[in-house]
Chain A
Amino acid sequence: MLSLIVFWPALVAAVLLCVPARVPPKVFVGAWIAASLVDLVLIGVVWVGLPAGGGYGFEERVVWIPTAGISYHVGVDGLSLPLLALTGVLFTACAVFAWRETRRVKAYVTLFLALQAVSLGLFVALDLILFFVFFDLSIVFMYFVIAGWGHGAAARGAALRFFLYTFLGSLALLLGFILLFLAAVPHTFDIPELVAANPLAGGGLYSGLTLLAIGVGLAVKTPSVPFHTWLPPAHTEAPATGSAVLAGVLLKMGTYGFVRIAMPLLPATWRDYAMVVVIVGVVSVVYGALVALAQTDLKRMIAYTSINHMGYVLLGVGAAGLVAGSDEQARQLATTGAVTQMVSHGLITGALFLLAGVLHDRGGTYDMGAYSGLAARVPRFAGLFVIAAFASLGLPGFSGFIAEFQIFTGALGAAPVPTAVAVTGIVVTAGLFLLAVQRLLLGPLRVPDAPGTPRPFPDVRVSEALAVVPLLVLVVVLGVVPRVLLDVIEPASRTLVDLVSR
């Protein structure tokens, strides 16, 4: 079942490769939309069939390279299923958004389908090497998306920077995986086996270095300060769909790595260095928010808020490791909040980046100074943007609040000062989103003119609305009836909290 979910987009991509490029672009995009919807249905089936008591469901294991302890092992639990669903939803939204794409559509669609397959694969992988393969392939495919469909010559530079930086991070990750492999007897890369064996339960230097390697590798992808500088240019130059996938799915691979690998496989060391994680998280929160506040480019601003939001995740998972200062409920809240934040940020930031794409499509620039008073000209765009902005600043009623409230509440007892500092982040994000809303939407009307003639500036089109609105609807649903999601996450986060504290 999971293999079908993962390889179905790849299969469709392979079939599309055989179709001549002369065929109308809508055929390719239509196939992509259909393929994504099929995948979503399959994910829905998995969601319904997930074992209630925690543990992995839909496991598949096939011998791959037995001499090196590597197998093709996939499965889902409450930590990975929400992200699997998020990936399915975001790619579907991107497929719908791409309906009007005209540039080399065949290559575009096949590339995205391949990216979709590896992203889905990463979240179901239960083998370190399988995880690593998907991790690296996602970097490769995203490189081509940015370089091939970005905004001009700068895109290739940004893509190269993105590739080299994250690829270097993945090498650190591989080093950490090999260290784990060597520590386990018998040697294996299988995650559940490593969890059960807990080879580095004693902590120590070796274990510390392993966590350092894995942590740096994941921190680059997350990204957390100071490993974040690849993110803003990559976002600024990427096409809207690329940005949405980059922020919505690829960043989650980093944070997901913490809850899937770093925490359960290195529990003793995680507890020892939890405060470091908390502090890195808080620095990311405050630094990301403040730098975002100073941006004038819409996409750069959203990119820095991603750093801020991922900082909350680190705060949550770090606090889950501070066993001494908190009770079980607090640590569980922090962990659940961190996973909720991953889903929530994916949906909200995906919507924001797609809306930024709508703006760029009309005005040709992301510079907020070039626009003003759009609420009068394009009220639907304005309404959607305001909703997404308020969701992103953590307003109750939207999913971001559910995530951040859990993280703050759970983390305060164990790390009072860092949490108190991190809470200020929500005021700064409120300020910067209000500023963005004011610059873009309010005041007297101004739009950038094309040379000679006034630029037509139509409101959100149907295909764009069909991409963005479902994301925001989900954000509201998760904000109002979060039990839908929390019922899935909580058993898994309880297991994780137990694993970390053993």
Chain B
Amino acid sequence: MLWLLVGVPLLGGAGLVVAALVTRRTDRWATASGLVVAAVTLAMGIAAAVLRPATGAPLLAGIGFGLGVDGLSAVMLVTVAVAVLAVLVFAAGEAELRTARFVGLVLVFAGAMLVTVTATGLLPLLMAWEVMGATSWALIAYHFRDPAAVGAAHTAFLTTRTADLGLYLAAGAALAGGVGSLALADLPAARGAWLHLLVAGVVVAALGKSAQLPFSFWLSGAMRGPSPVSALLHSATMVAAGAYVLLRLAPLLGTSGWAGPLVAWVGAATALVLGLVAVAQTDLKQLLAASTCAQIGYMVLAAGVGGTAAGTVALVAHAATKGLLFLAAGAWLAALGTRQLDGLRGAARRFPVVGVTFTVGALSLAGVPPLSLWIGKDAVLAAALDASPALYGVGLVAAAVAGLYSGVALWYVWQAVPDDAPVAGRVSAPMRPPLIGLAVLAAVLGLLPQLGGGLALDPAPAASELVVSGVVAVAAVALAWRLGERMPRPAPLRGWVGLERAAHATVVAPVLALASALARFDDRVLARGADDTALATVRLARTLDRRVEFSVDGAVRAVAAGARVLGRWARRPQTGQLHQYYAQTSVGFALLAALALLVIVVR
């Protein structure tokens, strides 16, 4: 059951991608088959949410690949499946996205997210997590001829992978700390200092994936991808995965002592700072992207204070809301060719269906009652108040900021249509049902906690808190409506507080400089050192040849020459004349006699 659930989108998607490489003809039936796969996945997701199956297979020595469904993952399964189906239906309306490559990548991406939310151990979690990162690279760089999109894809993948190193270290720390199976449920039992390394690794990885401070910048570039991709990335997958992991491992954060407050404050800070960044944007998709970071901040905050149910409700409500908003932005981009707020004046009036659904989404994002994020946000704030009033305060300010950015976006799209507005294209038929469906969900998902189960809020927000946040939201939207285009937009906020430049200056540039320095060292010192040794050997050989070999050879020659001279001398007496031999013999005898005499005398 679970294998089918994750296998169908993964294999179906991979099959489509491979088919796209083999032949272009697959594009014709890609969208249809993708929709079938997504629908089947949704059906199985719902079934799995009800039946709660669990399964597993051995993978490495002592470390299995376990999948299972509990309350949290049941909600996530359905959310992911719905988001994927909505996105694929919408994408059917864009001609350039009706390709096997696009549909296949979306399905693989969805499959990876499904594995992430059902993983019961660090190993399957890490595997799915990284596959999701790589697929997001391919999706953001879908328009591969556009250098900006490619660069943004690189930034996204490298940033998240850098943060992913945390999960690799966490796995090692879990093993070293005595949790040999790497099962998520057993992680809090890790021993000693390993527990802290484990927690730190998980936290860094999750913050990176969720584009929380200081990793938020990668989400800005990711807007270069097609709008349905943004809708998918920002709603139920990718950034949501980081929040999900923190929610899933909230007990682990608690055991470490320091991680809970740290995570909560990072979440709160992101909600505030990136909210302000969103207010300052002039591009609708950038505004929505920054607002995603801010909203995910609430979920991270919830995980930090142990409000798992609250964070989950916020996650689901945000998934519907943000999926809707990005799809609406995509519809306008397709029809009007722009995503600049200035160019979108009157867009809601020209395309009422998109306009109305967008309004529902924006009001939900603002936290206006009775829409879903109003409840979701308050659930988180109630949990925060339980932990620390300061956190609650920051969260409330961030809620006001959410009203501001939502209100600004609404103000632009509901302006009168300018006279010089360019001729508009049309919003194709497949784009409408997902917008309407998601708008309904964004409106009503606040009722989720009423279903009970794992989503019952503890602590539930008090009525007074609900009223306060509702008033704050409405007031903030009203203020934004008043200010309209006079909304202050400080340059640092417009540039995402310089995070990407800082990352470049502190990490990327030094690494590149080190790389080229080491490459020069390798060529000039190490390689040349080896060559020089070889050359020195050759030189030594030559020297030996010239000096030593010459002398040795000379000595041998001299011996030979001496022998030759001696031989010549020895030939002299051999004259062949008898009388000379007699003379030589007599001289010889005389010498011998003299010698004998000498010996006798000396004795």
Contact = CB atoms under 8 A, between A and B. Distances in A.
A294 interface: yes
Consensus secondary structure, chain A interface:
helix
B526 A226 contact: yes
A357 to B, nearest CB: 19
Nearest to A444: B145
Contact of B518 (A287, A384, A408): A287
B144 A375 contact: yes
A483 B58 contact: yes
B356 interface: no
Nearest to B528: A229
Contacts of A406: 60-61
Contact of A161 (B157, B173, B511, B534): B534
Nearest to A487: B58
A395 B130 contact: yes
Interface stretch (B36-44, B80-88, B120-128, B575-583): B120-128
Contact of B165 (A228, A333, A423, A438): A423
A259 B123 CA distance: 26
A204 interface: no
B162 A443 contact: no
A434 B136 CA distance: 13
B176 A413 contact: yes
Interface string B511-522: 110111011001
Q: Taking each of A291, A401, A426, which has the highest tally of chain B beta carbons within 10 Å of its own beta carbon? A: A291
A267 interface: no
A412 B175 contact: yes
A220 B49 CA distance: 56
Contacts of A19: none
Interface string B527-542: 1011100100000000
Given A164-B534, A412-B175, A434 B519 contact: no
Name which of B131, B141, B175, B534 has the most chain A CB atoms within 10 A of its CB: B175
A62 to B, nearest CB: 36
Contact of A430 (B61, B141, B158, B529): B158
A486 interface: yes
A229 B21 contact: no
Interface in A420-473: 420, 423-424, 426-428, 430-431, 434-435, 438, 441-444
B171 interface: yes
A405 B126 contact: yes
Nearest to A486: B60
B359 to A, nearest CB: 38
Interface string B358-399: 000000000000000000000000000000000000000000
Interface in B175-217: 175-176, 180, 194, 197
A229 B144 contact: no
B335 interface: no
B60 A442 contact: no
B58 A290 contact: no
A54 to B, nearest CB: 14
Interface in A280-328: 287, 290-291, 293-295, 326-327
Contact of A330 (B20, B130, B175, B516): B175
B530 A165 contact: yes
A500 B99 CA distance: 54
Contacts of B512: 293-294
Interface string A225-240: 1101110100000000
B150 interface: yes
A383 B21 contact: yes
Nearest to B17: A383
B58 A443 contact: no
Nearest to A445: B145
Contact of A426 (B161, B172, B531): B161
Interface in A15-64: none
A12 B515 CA distance: 46
Interface string A144-170: 000000000000000001001100000
Given A294-B515, A330-B175, A409-B175, A442 B144 contact: yes
Contact of B168 (A228, A294, A405): A405
B158 A409 contact: no
A441 B162 CA distance: 24
A232 B522 CA distance: 11
Contacts of B567: none
Contact of A412 (B20, B130, B172, B529): B172
A75 interface: no
A490 interface: yes
Contact of B171 (A229, A230, A376, A408): A408
Interface residues of B, number: 52
B537 to A, nearest CB: 9
A291 B123 contact: no
B328 to A, nearest CB: 30
- Interface footprint category on A: 35 or more
B147 interface: yes
A373 interface: yes
A379 B21 CA distance: 7
B134 interface: yes
Contact of B176 (A230, A291, A330): A330
Contacts of A401: 127, 130
B150 A486 contact: no
Contacts of B526: 225-226, 228-229
Contacts of B171: 405, 408-409, 412
Given A396-B131, A402-B60, A427 B165 contact: yes
A412 B145 contact: no
Interface string B133-166: 0100100010011010010001001100110010
A482 B527 contact: no
Contacts of B531: 161
A327 B180 CA distance: 10
A92 interface: no
B21 A412 contact: no
Contacts of B161: 426-427, 430
A332 interface: yes
A208 interface: no
A87 interface: no
B175 A333 contact: yes
Interface in A51-88: none
Contact of B180 (A228, A329, A390, A411): A329
Contacts of A430: 157-158, 161
Question: Which among B141, B180, B522 has the highest number of chain A CB atoms within 10 Å?
Answer: B522
A171 to B, nearest CB: 14
B59 interface: yes
A9 interface: no
Contact of A442 (B21, B126, B150): B150
Nearest to A431: B158
Contact of B172 (A390, A411, A434, A435): A411
Interface of B: 20-22, 58-63, 123, 126-128, 130-131, 134, 137, 141, 144-145, 147, 150, 154, 157-158, 161-162, 165, 168-169, 171-173, 175-176, 180, 194, 197, 511-512, 514-516, 518-519, 522, 526-527, 529-531, 534
Given A230-B530, A232-B527, A395-B134, 9 more contacts: A229-B530, A290-B514, A290-B519, A294-B515, A295-B519, A390-B134, A401-B127, A402-B60, A413-B176
28 contacts: A161-B534, A229-B522, A229-B529, A229-B530, A287-B518, A290-B511, A290-B515, A291-B515, A293-B515, A294-B512, A327-B180, A329-B62, A330-B176, A380-B22, A395-B130, A397-B131, A402-B60, A405-B123, A408-B169, A413-B175, A413-B176, A416-B176, A427-B161, A430-B161, A434-B137, A438-B154, A444-B145, A486-B61
7 smallest A-B Cβ distances: which pairs? A412-B172, A413-B176, A396-B127, A294-B519, A383-B21, A229-B527, A293-B515
Interface of A: 161, 164-165, 225-226, 228-230, 232, 287, 290-291, 293-295, 326-327, 329-330, 332-333, 336, 373, 375-376, 379-380, 383-384, 390, 395-397, 401-402, 405-406, 408-413, 416, 419-420, 423-424, 426-428, 430-431, 434-435, 438, 441-444, 482-483, 486, 490
